[in-house]
């Protein structure tokens, strides 16, 4: 019985604690602070439990808000149905893809002109930037000219093309002119001595005069228009096998391994004598700016001479045969291409300021001549003798 009375008393105290009014949560901070200082009495609870009345009111609000949201959903569904029926002629808006194209877009009408396309493409080239352009190069000759008595000698230079589009060809003791524009052929000169062959030909820069080197050790200067000899210049002790112009300075190289500069404007024409080669000088070429002279000889050497200097700046000895073919690069200053004979067969590229060999190519055949493209293309044409007898671009 005692334990029963204790249990009943505990239940009564718990019930009184639950039924005790609790202060509303709407009290201000100062009121709650003052209430917290009030001394507690026996039976006060440590937990804040809201009234059941206020909980009921919150539940009512929650139920009312759910009802309102349901009403809104119904209204939204009705609105979507009306909108879909008006725009798409169907009640199911969710299953309809507005931006779905079932057919291809129609082609523009004939005569349509897009001004914006013209604006943004007017500076674009017709060809793609990365597309490599190929041009056709004829493999068959445009014209064939008869050349009887052409000397079969690797060390002589018997052809030259002038800036006036006239080609000079030495055929034994005679020199003929072929005009590429008119296709006319004229005899320029012919030596009385049939054994006195023309061994080198070189046009002046303007194409008005042509220099001839002969096997009787002389250099002749001829007027193209009047077809008359202007003067004859001596100085070599053997045939003159190479010639090169630098404005009014004519440079000649001979079998005597000597290079001579002639000033054609004055009577005492010999202005300089250059000696370093040990065999016939078969190649001569001035640089485009006239500051350097390249010489090649049968001693397998190529020399670079600075203008006004009597000793070579560089001597290239990589070749294993006579260096005849010489060509200065028109787009890369101080770059020289050289070609050598049958025992070497190489084309080499040199920097004439530093003296370094930039590159070399084994052509597989004797290199008799080199010509860079005059149109600005980075191309080099090589003429070959034994054993291919061909032109290579």
pLDDT at 217: 95
Domain 153-275 class, CATH top level: mainly beta
Rounded CA separation 252/260 (Å): 5
**Is residue 387 reached through a cis peptide bond, with omega within 30 degrees of 0 on the bond before it?**
yes
Q: Per-domain residue ranges for the chain?
A: 153-275, 293-393
Span 356-375, average pLDDT: 94
Q: What is the dihedral of CA 241, 244, 250, 251, to 10 degrees?
A: -60
Report the alpha-carbon distance of residue 312 to residue 305 in Å, rounded. Answer: 5
Q: How many H helices and E strands in the chain?
A: 4, 23
What pTM value is reported for the model? 0.66
Q: What is the mean pLDDT of the chain?
A: 82
pLDDT of residue 108: 64
- Per-residue confidence (pLDDT) for residue 24, from 0 to 100: 47
- Specify the DSSP element, H or E, that contains 274: strand 270-275
Contacts of residue 228, defined as CB under 8 A and 6 or more positions apart, other chains included, come to 222
At 352 the three-state DSSP class reads coil
Check if the beta carbon of residue 171 is closer than 8 Å to that of residue 187.
no
The pLDDT tens digits for 242-268 are 999 999 999 999 999 999 999 999 999
Neighbours of 16 (CB within 10 A): 11
206: alpha, beta or left, given left = phi > 0 and alpha = psi -120 to 50?
alpha
Torsion angle of C-alpha atoms 26, 30, 34, 37, degrees rounded to 10: 100
User: Residue 78 — very low, low, confident or very high, per pLDDT cuts 50/70/90?
Assistant: confident
| CA atoms of 215 and 173, how far apart (whole Å) | 9
What are the tens digits of pLDDT across the range 135-151?
Answer: 787 888 888 999 998 99
Confidence (pLDDT) at 376: 81
What is the third-level CATH fold of 293-393? Lipocalin (2.40.128)
């Amino acid at each position: 019985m005692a334990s029963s009375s204790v249990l009943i008393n505990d239940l009564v105290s718990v019930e009184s604690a639950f039924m005790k009014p609790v202060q509303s949560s709407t009290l201000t901070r100062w009121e709650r602070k003052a209430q917290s200082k009030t001394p507690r009495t026996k039976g006060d609870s440590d937990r804040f439990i809201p009234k059941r009345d206020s909980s009921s009111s919150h539940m009512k609000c929650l139920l009312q808000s759910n009802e309102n949201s349901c009403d809104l959903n119904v209204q939204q569904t009705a609105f979507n149905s009306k909108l879909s029926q008006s725009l798409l002629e169907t009640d199911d808006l969710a299953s309809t893809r507005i931006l779905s194209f079932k057919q291809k877009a129609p082609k523009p009408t004939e005569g349509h002109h897009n001004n914006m396309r013209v604006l943004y493409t007017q500076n674009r080239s017709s060809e793609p930037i990365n597309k490599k352009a190929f041009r056709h190069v004829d493999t068959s000759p445009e014209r064939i000219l008869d050349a009887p008595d052409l000397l079969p000698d690797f060390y002589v230079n018997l052809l030259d093309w002038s800036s006036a589009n006239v080609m000079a060809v030495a055929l034994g003791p005679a020199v003929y002119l072929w005009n590429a524009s008119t296709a006319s052929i004229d005899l320029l000169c012919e030596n009385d001595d049939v054994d006195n062959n023309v061994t080198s030909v070189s046009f002046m820069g303007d194409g008005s005069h042509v220099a001839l080197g002969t096997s009787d050790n002389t250099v002749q200067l001829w007027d193209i228009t009047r077809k008359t000899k202007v003067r004859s210049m001596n100085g070599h002790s053997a045939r003159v096998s190479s010639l090169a112009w630098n404005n009014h300075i004519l440079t000649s190289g001979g079998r005597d391994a000597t290079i001579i500069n002639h000033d054609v404007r004055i009577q005492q024409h010999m202005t300089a004598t250059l000696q370093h080669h040990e065999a016939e000088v078969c190649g001569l070429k001035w640089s485009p700016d006239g500051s350097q002279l390249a010489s090649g000889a049968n001693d397998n050497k190529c020399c670079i001479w600075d203008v006004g200097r009597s000793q070579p700046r560089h001597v290239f000895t990589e070749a294993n045969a006579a260096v005849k073919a010489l060509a200065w690069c028109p787009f890369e200053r101080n770059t020289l291409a050289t070609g050598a004979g049958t025992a070497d067969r190489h084309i080499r590229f040199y920097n004439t300021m530093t003296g370094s060999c930039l590159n070399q190519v084994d052509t597989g055949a004797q290199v008799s001549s080199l010509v860079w493209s005059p149109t600005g293309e980075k191309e080099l044409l090589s003429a070959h003798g034994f054993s291919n007898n061909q032109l290579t671009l």
